Structure 1
Amino acid sequence: MPKGMIDSSPLETGLTELRDDIRQLEIGCARLRGKGERILDLFALRDSVQERVDALDKRGMDLRAEQTRLETIDNMIRRQAGLLGRELAATGGMEPARQKRRPPDAYWWWFADIDHAQRLRKTAIRYAAIVVGVLVVLLVGNALLTRRYGLSPEQQQAQEFASTGERLIAQGDLEGAIAAYEAANDVAPQADAHAWLAVLYAAKGEELLAEQAVAATLELQPDERIVYNALSRNHDMLGNTDAAEAWAYKALAVDDTYAQTWLSLGSVAEARGESTGAIKLYEEAARLANEQGSDALYVLARMRMGMLMGGGGSGPSGAGF
């Protein structure tokens, strides 16, 4: 080698190995379900990749392509954070692994389960704050209808099971919520219960059961706009913004003048931190609701707009069928 030249082969070798490991992460993190303790091996590899990225970056290497791939991997992990507790249940969840590894705060993937739980709690709190007024109206109306027409014992029991399901979702107990909604449908099938089961099954990866639950929902409530928005709202409550957006767009394809759909899209944008876009979507929801004489929806959309414009936040859009 001529005097004064720097041997670049170690750097090139290191970059090749880095890209190979990033590829392993892309494959491994695409679906964490069923991997169990192998998830910890992926997180350890993510640590190693980050250390090498930091080192190469300090040496002036252009790693923009690699950084973009890592951002995609990190989004995969975030979207599946709700699985970590179940996948690692045999070893006590993520906490024992954290105690053993003692990762720095910057290595956020080791704390993804905590962040997911916090987001679920915040969503539940915000959701309760947003719909409390709507629920009061619904409860009063339901009481009047019950007094006038009455509910069968089966319907009353099904409502009790559904209420239990709602409470368990707020607590993060998705397995318990599934059992509660299944019990509700065993007694008296309801569209709302089937819509929740569709989302809960999807969260567990039970795609066939989820599809069957969607079909059952449509049998009881044939208006696709209502059903698709309910599915969007339920996914939004669980923090599954991609699925929430997909169902909202399905509703939009059916009828792009349906005010609730624009509210659903606004809720997704808000959950992603896209405040400006969310405000515009809520504004459109309010405009359509006003034109269609939907006073409750108009007030809700304007309230969501006001909270964002005032620096506040909110939760999923709507209160059921």
Structure 2
Amino acid sequence: MERATGTVDAPADAGDIRQADDLRLALREAELAVASLRGVGPAGVLKYLRLLDDIEEAIPRLESMYGVDLKPERTRLETLENITRSQTTRLVREAGASTLARARMELDPPEEHWWWYLDRSLAEQRQDSLRRWSLRGVVLATVLLLGLLAYNHFLAPSPEEQAFSTRTSAGEGYLVQGDYEAALPEFEAAAALNPKDLGARLQLAVVYEQLGRAEDAAQQLARARDLADSEADFYASLSLVYYRVGVGGMDWAVEKAYETAMDAVEADDGSALAHFALASAYELQGETAKAIDEFEFASNISQDASLTVMARMRMGMLMQSPGDMMGGFGGGMF
């Protein structure tokens, strides 16, 4: 098997780890590998896990054979194991749960070599997380209901805000139905009522695009780009507009949602909104497993509580009803 990461030559199997220097080379290769997991694929992950097997077997054997204390090497192995646990999602994503299951059948690793069972532990973590978030969802729904009651009694929107909401809702209804002529005046009015609203600008741009008014669409996209907090937010928000249209049954929007979500991730791989948009695009494409992974990743890196909750809820809905690909869709941009 070819080495996926690193440049240090290391023993091919445990039998080649005959001396402490061999062990240190193996540890070095493992440290390089776990530091560069993105894109290594199944082969790279399996090579890394087998390297952990080799190191785990070699340490007690060398200590017994030569009567030496390899405490520093044991410490390095413990550090590797801790990093491996923290990279569970990444390792499973790169290898694929089915690949790990096949490898277990072939190798029959002992349970002490827990790294071969990462897909199982990840599934258990997700189930535990789903139960926790379901409970939080009930609490959140109660809080939102109380907030809505207070809002209706004490914080009624201004006439302009009400008009903006009415126009936007009407425009969205026409947009998802493919009635772009009817959607146009609604979004034009919404953009005039609130020129700084990113969503209205993006939806107006999409309508212009579908009406063949490329210059007007480009102008609205340029304004939207200025309103967005970042390049990643711009593309992610645009992707979510296409997602909403795709959920409405417009097939042309599915690929658009994916392409702009990928643009968002490329602009900033650390953007939670970008990964949320990519998860939504995968959901549209029927890629349930990829959608769940991206929703989980988005929730883990998000600094926005509302986005974290939304990602967890969408992930939970997909896990509960994998055949119902639109079950997690709610109103608004998300």
- Please report the TM-score for the alignment, with normalisation by the length of structure 2: 0.47
Is the radius of gyration larger for structure 1 or structure 2? 2
Higher relative contact order (CA closer than 8 Å, sequence separation 6+)? 1
- Please report the TM-score for the alignment, with normalisation by the length of structure 1: 0.49
